[in-house]
Structure 1
């Protein structure tokens, strides 16, 4: 039986001023059918609004283009459809023969996202959904409370393939469905990158002044295992490559590797994490020739200084040699000192 929410004792449930319902910290047991009623023109008739809350486990995504989507359908959707129709597992049989429910697995597409001019990418998500169809009424003689509960649960329009409540009622079916990710179609598009008022400015900036033939590995900040990382060079997207001979490579984890750096690699490299402009890296290249030239001129300057000092030293020696007759010998100096001592002794 439906129960009215006790807002005084239920701390996580709040009735907003606009009569909307706010649920804090959603839990698995919050799954269920929620309804509200309003009186129309103060008459006895009432209008009822119903909402189903389907709490799901953490959802994963496969991503790719339309060709990858076709492979996704062949790998995940079609085999699951066959299981619902033919599987001999007791849960599938119970669903088909006892509850008389045919489960259809479909993909629910969200609206195509606008083209992100900075990454030149547009995205569209496809969510895995279950749509129950009741083929015929159950045998009323064998109906019990559990069956009624399940039938009520399956009477809604659609469920997520990753529904936690479904896993409580049909563990085997839920386990099979948990292997089916949602899908994210990524398509290339053309659009203007709006960089105004600093909104799209990168959070991080870096600068490298590298020699020719150097190696560099760049990792985009704030990424996780599920992040979508895109690298651009001067506004053009760098695609992931498996060719080991390529000097510029973006691996599946979004790490950019540059090997044997050349002048053509100079430029502005930008990375985006889930469409957020995360980092700008400016790379400048200096040639090994310029380093050798600089080293050469440094040595020339040092040589000139040493040569100048040598000239001064030799000039000094030459002058000393030419004036050697003007200088006293050691014997003359000793003789003068002896005379000075004798004069002092006579004075005393």
Structure 2
């Protein structure tokens, strides 16, 4: 009888280790680079992890190029950084191993299946016997929306254009928008947000099927929000305290949407960017499969892009380029299709000729609009709505700048004339000299 029990226990242990060690190709595996160990600096204290809802996530407790050690490790988590104390992660203990949503494998990696919004937080994997060493791995897991969006690609010059078109308008709003959410961020929480690119590491050099020294390597840049805390901020709850205790967060963060939905609707539609660069490599198509490394095509983004900044109450008519009356045109707002003739929102209407009308616009009409002709992504339009008082203030400031420039130019010329006159004063004739010359002229006229 004891032999049967022992055999059953051993078999269950083998099944458990097999299931917890198996990794699906769709699982997101995260590790820390050995060149960026845990440090006291805020940007090095943890690694930001974008965790799409419903996906599987594996947080590794060893460096990316290293092997797991035999020392015992423990996983801790704080769901609300700066508000709660870290607690040991509660692992699932279901008899059916496949039903365990949260488990640890033989490499001490934490496996989270079917990511939920409650899984967000700061995770720590520590060897309790070496608390002061570098054998610590911290991850800030930020649950994000899984958006169907295009990924732009190109070199560093293309990225600069991508930055100006996608990041700069939002960063301007963070700095000067009078919208309630932006004002609350600046004046109540006293934090400054800035959209930046968080770069992954470079991938391998793809040299197969290419001329010598013409290989291509790529790295992905993810839309990220940098959070800078200023002095004097106030928090009312744990959600607001989150912004005081993190330095970065994802543009598609569910926490951002929960507290600032208007800001989230602007940032979550920003596509990621894949930068490519020439490299010198050796072709090895069998490194990870028979077709690995061979040249493949890449999907294109939108052919046209525009940005409109319009005042509240104004009107805007948008026509999808390269479309005809016979074309099948699909307009979308923030990813949601707009049906022609739908009058549920009188401010946003698509007529039977596939023209999009924005009438009497308010802040609700602000966002990302796209149009698709047949199966071609044709145009992406970003609409920002500002109050008329804000617009008038900007116009007045610009005209005052022009007037100030004219006055400055006038004063410069006037003062320059005075300086030149003063420097040449010794060449001027005195009153007596002028009178003497005039006297000689009078005498000549008298003789005549």
TM-score, structure 1 as length reference: 0.50
Question: Which one has the largest radius of gyration?
Answer: 1
Larger RCO (alpha carbons 8 Å, 6+ apart): 1
TM-score, structure 2 as length reference: 0.39
